[in-house]
Amino acid sequence: MKFLFDLDGTVTQQETLPIIAHHFGAEADMAQLTEQAVSGVVPYEQSLRNRVMMLRDCSVREVAQLLASVPLYEKIYQFISEHKTMCAVVTSNLDCWCSSLIQRLGCQGFCSQTITCDDKVVEIGSIIKKELIVDCFKEQGETVVFIGDGHNDLQAMQHAHIAIAAGLSGPPAPSLIPIAHHIAKDQQSLYNTLISLIVD
């Protein structure tokens, strides 16, 4: 069995791009773009590119250090720590920004790929397609559980054997509700659901 976690708002207590934007004084514009992306109003890939370009002059090293200490949901971190080989984080966020955070989690991590130069993001090489990561583990014979909260998790959850809509940071995107096998409204209920899947 493989548990694939969305990162922002599912493992972390906050969306990471707004944290970066706040740190560098660009939170107002970022908040609007993030809401549009999470709700599905703007195509997610376009929104991500817009948000990254807003932050492209930020130091990659400084962002990685900032995200390394972002608050995590304690029970989700506990589950990942207890089952590291069974868990992976699948995020559209950038590899160069999330490397230290994923190292802190101690599990596999799959991110969007970037091209950097002189400690800056030059461009996004490729935006991860979460459903392809799901399919890859299915081809390896794994029973795949995907845990997400945003509209951009929809296809991954549709491809997974078991889909869990997480409402830890707020209600999950409405598009996820009809396809979710489980809906977790807080971190303890999500932890309990994850444990029950292993036991079953």
Whether the per-residue pLDDT at 200 is higher than 70: the answer is no
Whether the per-residue pLDDT at 46 is higher than 90: the answer is no
Domain count, the chain: 1
Whether the per-residue pLDDT at 11 is higher than 90: the answer is yes
- What is the rounded distance in angstroms from the CA atom of residue 93 to the CA atom of residue 138? 23
**CATH number (domain holding residue 53):** 3.40.50.1000
When the pLDDT of each residue in the chain is averaged and rounded to a whole number, the result is: 90
What residues make up the domain containing 127?
Answer: 2-199
Q: What is the pLDDT of residues 107-126, one digit of tens each?
A: 999 999 999 999 998 888 88
